[in-house]
Structure 1
């Protein structure tokens, strides 16, 4: 069964400096049918205006992944990390017992476009930690590249949850396939382009919950980028 979550059905908040679309309930947007999917709690598609950003704020007991699509995002936190996140970078922050951080667009002229992803961890009160790794476009081109996993294999970032997160950049006409093991479910998020998932069309911003399926074929109708969450 594939349940389509259309882009235009997402929650939306425009704060002027921040334009954000919420796949699942978040902040003032509430939809009881979309509180998350298994351990996946948040997928926010954010655009932050130049020289603006999120001031210092707290998190705890959440795995937070930042995936930048365009522009750059400056990160600072209370455990001593400071970095710039750019396209190809994957940042993972385990909030654990508590962390303060800020996210700021350092450009004076260019907005930043990113996905912010929250995953509920399988343990509470973990020590706060941070990882950032780069995955080149060549690694993801026409291939499902593992970028986050519970065991950090294949040089992916480590998350405290039974999830395998893949990214791919597909040329028009190319496809990738994914076999689901028994008991696992998938959330697919289209970042850019138009794809056909088995026999269902998805466009940029669309997501899909995939339950009781064993085989997925994802074919790009136009140049596309997407994230695939394989969840236990």
Structure 2
């Protein structure tokens, strides 16, 4: 288990434009050849957007982009004609495939915080695809077969336990609350990269929200 703390993330974005980005993996000018990916995950970014702030139209290709909104609402538009507003509890996925451009903005009047995770597909190319699952339940895994990965969302009451998926690779990200994972105490923004996970549990020390990526 390789634990990475929130304060170890690379800082990016454009604070003057109301954008603060915290990157868990090598990203942009923060090149680190020893921190390029874990399993299929190649990025896990915490994005803070002030009201009216956002990312202008930009391209993606050969990447599965999964977004989890923590607070506020995210407006998405892309060149394939998709437009939606994504809120807390919704899972958004943009399969950029052979190439697509999109816009991400905070068109609301309150701050926006979301976690965006990029996964490498098993095969490049194909046609872009997009979907939003509104109000995903804890008991409903979200599969991304293009990357041989499954997202598990766990919302835990104080003292509640949840099993960590048994898998060759598990990436765990704490969204909120404090969690005991094996012998580690994890706080918001902390993450654990687990290889050959088996018979592990996470215990909420207070109310907590966790994201697990189960990867083959």
TM-score by length of 1: 0.88
Q: 2:95 — aligned with what?
A: 94
Q: Any unmatched runs of 5+ in structure 2?
A: none
Question: What's the offset of the Cα at 1:178?
Answer: 2.9
Question: What's the offset of the Cα at 1:59?
Answer: 0.6
SS in 2 for 1:36: coil
The answer (yes or no) to whether the contact 1:145–1:168 under 8 Å persists in 2 is no
Is residue 2:193 matched to residue 1:219?
no
SS in 2 for 1:211: strand
The answer (yes or no) to whether the contact 1:58–1:99 under 8 Å persists in 2 is yes
Q: 1:11 — aligned with what?
A: 10
1:201 is matched with which residue: 185, 188, 195? Answer: 185
RMSD: 1.3
Question: What's the offset of the Cα at 1:179?
Answer: 4.5
Q: 2:22 — aligned with what?
A: 21
Question: What's the offset of the Cα at 1:213?
Answer: 3.2
Q: 2:76 — aligned with what?
A: 75
Is residue 2:98 matched to residue 1:103?
no
Question: What's the offset of the Cα at 1:145?
Answer: 3.8
SS in 1 for 2:196: coil
Q: For this pair of structures, how many residues does the alignment match? A: 214
SS in 1 for 2:170: strand
TM-score by length of 2: 0.95
Q: 2:141 — aligned with what?
A: 146
Q: Distance in 1 between matches of 2:134 and 2:191?
A: 24
Moved over 6 A (4+): none
Residues 1:85 and 1:179: Cα distance change in structure 2 (over 3 Å)? closer
Q: 1:230 — aligned with what?
A: 214
The answer (yes or no) to whether the contact 1:73–1:106 under 8 Å persists in 2 is yes
Q: Deviations over 1:164-202 (max 9, x none)?
A: 110111111101013414xx1111111111101122211
